Amino acid sequence: MKALIVYDNFTAAAKANAALLSSAENVAPTVQWTVRPWRLNMLKFPPTADETLNDAADAHLIVFAGRCAQTFPFWLRHWLEHWAKFRQIKDAALAVFWERSDGVSLSATLELSHFATCHGLAFIFDDSMELVPYAIGPASNSKSSEEYKGWGIND
């Protein structure tokens, strides 16, 4: 399986990578992850954005690590729109991976969740620095706000 980690600092990427590999060992020990890190600002510029799209085409998971999940700028939405249109993996997912000290924006997380729902993607969210085997979405699997209590979404 393949994952892209979109990050704004190396420490966040390293923690997301370690958590992803650890969760795979706990949930499905035979699963081998290929992890490709990409710095967030590289998705803004056409040459590297195109290169990243090519790299992401067969990704099962795109993880937004650290503070990069604080905003959902138009150029990131544009990149994600292209990826969603041309992805090769039908059951792909988006994930937000952060520590409480990162101060992740609720509105940006909700925008990513809404984007995932609109494009038939699973959305994984956890604020305890662990990637978990449950997902929020797609729309047919939506949950009430009560089911999100304690997840950091509406605390």
Task: Give the model's pLDDT for residue 136.
Answer: 35
Task: Give the model's pLDDT for residue 127.
Answer: 52
Residue 27's pLDDT band (boundaries 50, 70, 90)? Answer: confident
Which domains does the chain show, CATH number per domain? 2-148 (3.40.50)
Task: Give the model's pLDDT for residue 45.
Answer: 92
Q: Which residue has the tokens 């249109």?
A: 85
* DSSP for 48-82, written as a single string: HHHHHHHHHTT-SEEEEEGGGGG---HHHHHHHHH
Q: Which residue has the tokens 């609109």?
A: 118
Distance separating alpha carbons of residues 95 and 124, to the nearest angstrom = 4
This prediction's pTM: 0.75
Q: Which whole number is the average pLDDT over 123-141?
A: 48
1-24 CB burial, b ≥16 within 10 A, e <16: ebbbbbbbeeebbebbbebbeebb
Q: How many helices (H) and strands (E) does the chain have?
A: 4, 5
Task: Give the model's pLDDT for residue 100.
Answer: 58
Distance separating alpha carbons of residues 44 and 74, to the nearest angstrom = 9
Neighbour count for residue 147 (Cβ, 10 Å): 11
Token pair listed for 57: 């085409």
Is the pLDDT assigned to residue 155 strictly greater than 60? Answer: no
4 Cβ contact list (under 8 Å, min separation 6)? 35, 36, 37, 38, 52, 55, 56, 59, 61, 62, 63
Q: Which whole number is the average pLDDT over 35-62?
A: 94
Token pair listed for 115: 């984007």
Is the pLDDT assigned to residue 112 strictly greater than 60? Answer: yes
Between 151 and 63, the higher pLDDT residue: 63
Pairing of the two strands 2-7 and 61-65: parallel
Residue 110's pLDDT band (boundaries 50, 70, 90)? Answer: confident
